[in-house]
Structure 1
Amino acid sequence: MYTQNFTPITGSLGLSALSAVIPLFVLFVLLGLLKVSARWAALSALIAAIGIAFWVYEMPAVQIASGTLEGAATGFFPIIWIGINAIWLFRLTQLSGHDKVIRGALARLSPDLRVQTLLIAFCFGALLESLAGGGAPVAICAVMLIALGIKPVQAAAICLIADTSPVAFGSLGLPISVLSKVTGLPVHELGVMVGRQTPILALFIPLILIVIADGRRGLKEIWPLALVAGISFATGQAVGSMYLPIELVDISAALLCIGAVVTFLKVWSPERVRETESSAVLGPAIFVPAKNERFEMLQSASTLNSGGGAGIIQGTSSGSRRYSARTLVVARETIELFRAFAPYAIVIALVALSQIKVLKELLELGTSTLHWPLLDVVTPEGRPLGVVNAKFEWLLSAGSIVLFAGCLTIPVLGLSAKQALKVYLKNLGELKWAIFTVCSVVGVAYVMNLSGQIVTLGIWAAQTGPAFAFISPILGWIATSLTGSDTSANALFGVLQITTAHHTGLSDVLLAAANSSGGVVGKAISPQNLTIAAVAVGISGKEGVLFRKVIGWTLLMITIMSVLVLFQSTPVLSWMVPSVHS
C-alpha cells in the first residue's frame, strides 16, 4: 500500500509544490519555447513525473508503472478513441466526395471565406463537440477550412480556439456529470453555474476567429455576423443550462446559433467578399459527386435546361418521359445533400437512442469495471483513491457510438466495407503519434494524481484564501491542458475545489463549476488537441508552432474567466451563483 504524502520535502508545502510543478514546466517549456514536437515533450514530462513520484514522493516503482499503464489505457479509451472514429467518419465523406457537397452548401449561403469560417469552425464545430468531443471538431473542421483555401496552421489555430466554449457541455454533458459524481453536488446547479460562466467566452470567440482568419480588416467587415453567432450561442447555453438536461444544452445552443447565422445572412452580407477556393471552383450550386451514368444524364439535362428548355431522359422500362431538367437536378442535389449530412444525423440519432432507458441498460452490459492491478493507493486519512478503479464503457462511450454511426454511414455514402476498412487502417497509421502523445500525457496526469503531486499543487494554491476564486479556473485550465479532457480535469480537481471552498468560505458550486469553465480554455493548448490538429492539417511534428499561435488567446480567455469567477465570489456578482437545496 502507498499512502500519499502531500509535503514530502521536509514537510514544506512550498518546496514540495516546487518539485511537483516540474513535469508541467517540462511539458510547456519543451512545447512552447524549445519547439519540441508534442510526442517528445509529452514523453519527457512523463519521465519527469515518474522521477518526482519515485525520488521525491517515494511511491513504489511497481505502482508507478501500473499507474502509468492505467493512464495510457485511459488515454486511448475513451479519450483518443473518439478522435480516431470521428476523423474516420469524416474521411469517409472525403472518399465519397460528399465533403464537397457540404462545402457547396455553405457556398450557397455565402461565398465569403470569413463567413464560412464561422459556419464551419464555430457553428458546425459546436454541434460536433456537443455530440462527441475528443478532438473530433478540431480535426474535421480544420480539414474543411483547408479545402476553402485557409493555410494549415491558420486553419488549425482557428479550430483550436473555436473548440473551447462548447467543451463544458460537450460529449452530451459528460464533463459536468462527472464533476457531479466526484463532488456530490447536484448536476442541475453545476450546469446552471457553468451556464453563467462559459457563455461569456462564447461572446468573444467568433470575433477572435475572424481576427485569426483575416486580421483587423476582416473583423471590421464581419463583426456583425460574429456578434450574432456569439450572442445566439451564448444565449442558447445560458438559457439551456437552466431549463434543459445537460445532455441537450450544447446541441440546442449550436442549432440556435446555426439558425441565427443562416437567418442573418438572408438580410446581411459583407461589403467586400473574400471568396474561397471552393466558391471559385464550385460556384453557388451544390457539388454532386459524378459517380454513375445517371448523374451524367442529369448533367446533360442541366445543360439543356440552361437555355430554358427541358431535358429528355430516356427510361428503360416506361419509355420516353419528359421531365423538367431543373427539377431532376434539384432533386439529385437534395439527395446528395442529405447523404453528405447523413453521418452526423446518424450520430445524433444514435446518441438520442442511447439515452432511452431500455437501450441504455442494454448497452451498459458491455461495461467493464475493475480494480486496476498492482495499484493500492490511499490518502493520508486512509481513504482509497477512486482512480485505482477503472471503468470502460465499450458500447456506451461516445467513440463507440461514432464508430457505429460510421458503419451505418458506409452504404449511405455508396462505399464498400473494404474501402471503409482501408480508410480506417490508414487513419490509424496517420494518428499513431497522436495516440502515443495522448497516452503519454494522460499517463503524466495519472502518475501526478496517484503520487500526490496534483494535490500538493492544489493545496499550495489554496493558501491564497478567498483570492483562490481567481486561481480556481486556472487549475482547471492546467488540468485540461495536461489531460486534454475537461472531464478528466474535473475528475482530477473536482474534490480539491470543493475542499478548498469549505476551508475558505467560498461557494462549492462556484469553484467546482469554475474548474470546468477554466478547463475549456485549456483544451486549446492540450497536447492531445494540438497533435490531432497537426495531423489533420498535415503538419505533424509542428505542434509547437500551433501552441505559440494560440497560447496568447488562451491566456486572454483564462484571465477573463478568472476575473469573472472572482467577482462571482463577491457581492458584486454573487447573485449569479445558484443555491444548493439539500
Structure 2
Amino acid sequence: MTFTQNFTVVGDNLALTAVVALIPILYFFWALAIKRMKGYIAGSTTLLLTLVLAVFAFKMPVVTAVMSATQGAVYGVLPIGWIIITSVFLYKLTVKTGQFDIIRSSVLSITEDRRIQALLIAFSFGAFLEGAAGFGAPVAISAALLVGLGFNPLYAAGLCLIANTAPVAFGAIGIPIIAMEGPTGIPATEVSKMVGRQLPFLSAFIPFYLIVMMTGFKKAFEVMPAILVSGLTFAITQYLSSNFLGPELPDVLSALVSLFALAIFMKFWRPKTIYRFSAEHEIAATTATTMTTTTPKQKHNSYTSGKIFKAWSPFLILTGFISIWGIPTIKLALTGHYEGTNTILKTINSLGHFFTFTPEVPWLHNKVIGASGEPIAAIYKLEILGAAGTAILLAAIVTKYIVSISWRDWALTFGETVNELKYPIITIATVVGYAYVTNASGMTTTLGMVLAKTGALFPFFAPVLGWLGVFITGSDTSANLLFAKLQQVTATSIGMDPVLALAANSSGGVTGKMISPQSIAVACAAVGLAGKESDLFRFTIKHSLFLLLLICIITFLQNNILAWMIP
C-alpha cells in the first residue's frame, strides 16, 4: 500500500494544512520553553503527537508512520548517539587518569581569562571538530572541555552551541553544500562561493557576540584585540577557502588559522584585567583552588612539555582519526563503497562492507510518493565502521595505552558513560524519529511551500526555510536536501538567483542548529545535564532568532542592493 503526500490535505487548503503541520513544532517549543519538560519526555510526546497528526490529518497509514519513526530512531542511535557516547567516554578517560588536570593547566598557561578560553575552545577548536566530523562531536567535546576548565555546565553547552553557528554550513568536510548539487544540478563550488560571501559576516561577529553574552559590552571591549584576531582570521580564511578551494576545507583551515593566530597573539598581549566567573568556587572547587593558590605560570611550570603533549594526545589522536574518516575515498572504503585499485583501501573496503548494513525499512521503502511524484527510498543506514563514533572509539582504544589505564577500568568507564547517557540517547532517538515522520508525511514540505508563497519577500524568508529544516532534522545537510529543490524552483519563479537561495538555505540553517532538539540533547548529555534540556533551549532560542534575522537581512540585501556579491 503506497501513500502519496498531499500538501492540501486539510480542507483542501495549503494554509490550513500548514497550520496543522506547525502543531508539533509549537508543542515542542511549549514543552521545553514553558513547561520545562525533561528532554526525553518532550521528545517522546512530540513524536506521539506527530504520529497522531500524520495518521489522522495527513491520512498516512499507521504502519507507514510508525516505520518512518523507527527509521529516524535508528539514525538517532547510529551515527548520532554513538558519537555522543564515544566523545564523552574519551573525555572521561582523560579525567579519570588525571590527564585533564594537565590539559586545564596548559590552557591556563595561555590565558586564565575565561573570555579567551571560550574563544579558543568553543569557537576555534569547536569549529575544527565541526569541519572534521560534524554530527554533534564538536559541541560534545568542546563543551566537555569547558566544563573541565571550570565553566558552568549550562553556560558551557550554550556557548558551544552558539559558537558552532559559524562552521556548520561547511561541516563534515563540506557535506551540507555538496549535498545540494544532486537535487538541483547547481555545482557545489558555486553554492560554496555564495555561502562564503554570507557566513564570514556572521563568523566575524560571533566571537564578539559570544563575549558580550558572557560578560556584557564593557568587558567585551577589554578583549577586543583578541576578539578581532579570532573572528577576522576565521572569517577571512573562510571566505578565501570557500571561494577558491571549494566546500571541503573552509572549516578546518579557518579553525586552525584562528586557533593558532589567537594562541600566538596571547604570547604578546594580555588583557588589563583577568575575567573570572563570580561564583567560580561553586562551579568547580578544584579549579577555584588551583586559581586562588597558583598563578597559571607557576602551575604550568610543574608540567614538562612532554607531559602536556601526553595529556593532549587523546584529543590529537581523536582529531587525526576523525580527519582520516572524513577523507572522501577513505569514507567510501569504510562504508564498503570503494571501487578503486588501491590495495590498502580495498582491504578496508572489505571490512567496511562486512560492517555496513542497509536493510530496507519494511512497509516504508518506496511506499511514500513525494512531491516529485517519485517513490522515496527508505533504508536503515547502519555504517558501523564508517561512523565518526567508531573513529572516536579507536582514539579511546589508543588512549588506553597512552594514559595507562587497565582494560577493566577502561570497560567500567565505558559502561558508566553508556548508563549516564541513556536518557539523552532516548531523547535523540525520539526527536530524530519525529523529524522522519514529519518528512515522510509531507508536513515539512507543506511548511516550506507556504514560505515559498511569500513572493517578493521570499529573499528575506529563504533563510527561514533552512532554519526550520535544521530545527526539525538537526542537520544542515538534511535541511539542504529537503528544501534545495523548493528553494531553486521558487527563486527562479520570482527572479531571484537560485545560487543565492541555496546559500540562504544553508546559512539560515546554521542558526537553527543551536535550538535543534538533537543538538540540545547532545549538548546536555556532554556536560551531564540530562533532563535539563528545557533550560538550555530557553538559553539559546533568543540568540537563534536574532542571528537568523541577521542572515535574512543579508540575503535580502544581496538580492536587491548587493547583487554584485552573487558569483
TM-score by length of 2: 0.89
User: Which of 499, 504, 519 matches 1:529?
Assistant: 519
Ranges of 4+ aligned residues in structure 1 off by more than 6 Å: none
- Counterpart of 1:168 in structure 2: which amino acid? A
Q: Which residue of 1 aligns with 2:562?
A: 573
1:554 aligns with 2:544: yes
The separation in 1 between residues aligned to 2:328 and 2:20, in whole angstroms, is 48
Q: Which residue of 2 aligns with 1:185?
A: 186
Q: Which residue of 1 aligns with 2:385?
A: 395
Deviations along 1:329-353, whole A, 9 cap, x unmatched?
77xx222222222223223333444
1:343 aligns with 2:314: yes
Q: Which residue of 2 aligns with 1:318?
A: none
Pair 1:455–1:241, CA change in 2 (3 A): same
Identity rate, percent: 40
Structure 1 residue 158 displacement after superposition: 1.4
User: Which of 424, 442, 453 matches 2:414?
Assistant: 424
2:459 touches 2:552 (CA, 8 Å); kept in 1? Answer: yes
Pair 1:475–1:355, CA change in 2 (3 A): closer
Pair 1:251–1:380, CA change in 2 (3 A): closer
Q: How many residues are treated as equivalent by the alignment?
A: 535
The separation in 1 between residues aligned to 2:529 and 2:386, in whole angstroms, is 33
The separation in 2 between residues aligned to 1:474 and 1:163, in whole angstroms, is 18
1:466 touches 1:505 (CA, 8 Å); kept in 2? Answer: no
Matches of residues 268-283 of structure 1 in structure 2 within 5 Å?
Answer: 268-275=269-276, 277=288, 278-280=290-292, 283=295
Structure 1 stretches of 5 or more lacking a match?
A: 289-301, 303-328
1:234 aligns with 2:223: no
Matches of residues 57-96 of structure 1 in structure 2 within 5 Å?
Answer: 57-96=58-97
Pair 1:138–1:361, CA change in 2 (3 A): closer
1:2 touches 1:377 (CA, 8 Å); kept in 2? Answer: yes
Deviations along 1:290-347, whole A, 9 cap, x unmatched?
xxxxxxxxxxxx9xxxxxxxxxxxxxxxxxxxxxxxxxx77xx222222222223223
Structure 2 stretches of 5 or more lacking a match?
A: 277-286, 337-351
1:4 aligns with 2:5: yes
Pair 1:231–1:195, CA change in 2 (3 A): same
1:204 touches 1:230 (CA, 8 Å); kept in 2? Answer: yes
Matches of residues 407-418 of structure 1 in structure 2 within 5 Å?
Answer: 407-418=397-408
- Counterpart of 2:306 in structure 1: which amino acid? I
Q: Which residue of 2 aligns with 1:384?
A: 375
Q: Which residue of 1 aligns with 2:343?
A: none
Structure 1 residue 567 displacement after superposition: 1.5
1:132 aligns with 2:156: no
Structure 1 residue 360 displacement after superposition: 4.4
- Counterpart of 2:357 in structure 1: which amino acid? S
247-256 vs 31-40, which moves further: 31-40
1:431 touches 1:532 (CA, 8 Å); kept in 2? Answer: no
Pair 1:457–1:399, CA change in 2 (3 A): same
Deviations along 1:48-81, whole A, 9 cap, x unmatched?
2111111111110010111110011111222232
59-68 vs 151-160, which moves further: 151-160
Pair 1:392–1:179, CA change in 2 (3 A): farther
1:284 aligns with 2:296: yes
1:83 touches 1:134 (CA, 8 Å); kept in 2? Answer: no
The separation in 2 between residues aligned to 1:350 and 1:264, in whole angstroms, is 29
The separation in 2 between residues aligned to 1:79 and 1:535, in whole angstroms, is 12
Q: Secondary structure at the match of 1:121?
A: helix
1:154 touches 1:212 (CA, 8 Å); kept in 2? Answer: no
Structure 1 residue 209 displacement after superposition: 1.8
TM-score by length of 1: 0.87
Structure 1 residue 449 displacement after superposition: 0.9
Q: Secondary structure at the match of 2:357?
A: strand
Structure 1 residue 108 displacement after superposition: 1.3
1:104 touches 1:279 (CA, 8 Å); kept in 2? Answer: no
The separation in 2 between residues aligned to 1:178 and 1:381, in whole angstroms, is 18
1:497 touches 1:515 (CA, 8 Å); kept in 2? Answer: yes
Structure 1 residue 496 displacement after superposition: 2.2
Structure 1 residue 380 displacement after superposition: 5.5
Structure 1 residue 389 displacement after superposition: 3.8
Deviations along 1:526-567, whole A, 9 cap, x unmatched?
222222322333332222222222212111100000111112
Matches of residues 160-179 of structure 1 in structure 2 within 5 Å?
Answer: 160-179=161-180
The separation in 1 between residues aligned to 2:455 and 2:485, in whole angstroms, is 17
Structure 1 residue 522 displacement after superposition: 1.0
- Counterpart of 1:467 in structure 2: which amino acid? L
2:444 touches 2:469 (CA, 8 Å); kept in 1? Answer: no
436-445 vs 481-490, which moves further: 481-490
354-363 vs 182-191, which moves further: 354-363
Matches of residues 298-317 of structure 1 in structure 2 within 5 Å?
Answer: none
The separation in 1 between residues aligned to 2:490 and 2:432, in whole angstroms, is 25
Q: Which residue of 2 aligns with 1:119?
A: 120
Matches of residues 423-462 of structure 1 in structure 2 within 5 Å?
Answer: 423-462=413-452
1:131 touches 1:347 (CA, 8 Å); kept in 2? Answer: no
Structure 1 residue 355 displacement after superposition: 5.8
Q: Which residue of 1 aligns with 2:145?
A: 144
The separation in 1 between residues aligned to 2:528 and 2:362, in whole angstroms, is 39
- Structure showing greater Rg: 1
Pair 1:90–1:147, CA change in 2 (3 A): closer
267-276 vs 517-526, which moves further: 267-276
Q: Which residue of 2 aligns with 1:36?
A: 37
The separation in 2 between residues aligned to 1:481 and 1:281, in whole angstroms, is 45
The separation in 2 between residues aligned to 1:393 and 1:573, in whole angstroms, is 44
Pair 1:247–1:412, CA change in 2 (3 A): farther
The separation in 2 between residues aligned to 1:353 and 1:541, in whole angstroms, is 34
Matches of residues 327-338 of structure 1 in structure 2 within 5 Å?
Answer: 333-338=304-309
The separation in 2 between residues aligned to 1:120 and 1:362, in whole angstroms, is 32
2:129 touches 2:319 (CA, 8 Å); kept in 1? Answer: no
Q: Secondary structure at the match of 2:179?
A: helix
Pair 1:28–1:232, CA change in 2 (3 A): same
Matches of residues 219-258 of structure 1 in structure 2 within 5 Å?
Answer: 219-258=220-259
What do you get for the CA RMSD once the two structures are aligned? 2.2
Deviations along 1:31-59, whole A, 9 cap, x unmatched?
11222222222222212211111111111
Q: Secondary structure at the match of 2:381?
A: strand
- Counterpart of 1:377 in structure 2: which amino acid? V
Matches of residues 500-511 of structure 1 in structure 2 within 5 Å?
Answer: 500-511=490-501
1:79 touches 1:485 (CA, 8 Å); kept in 2? Answer: no
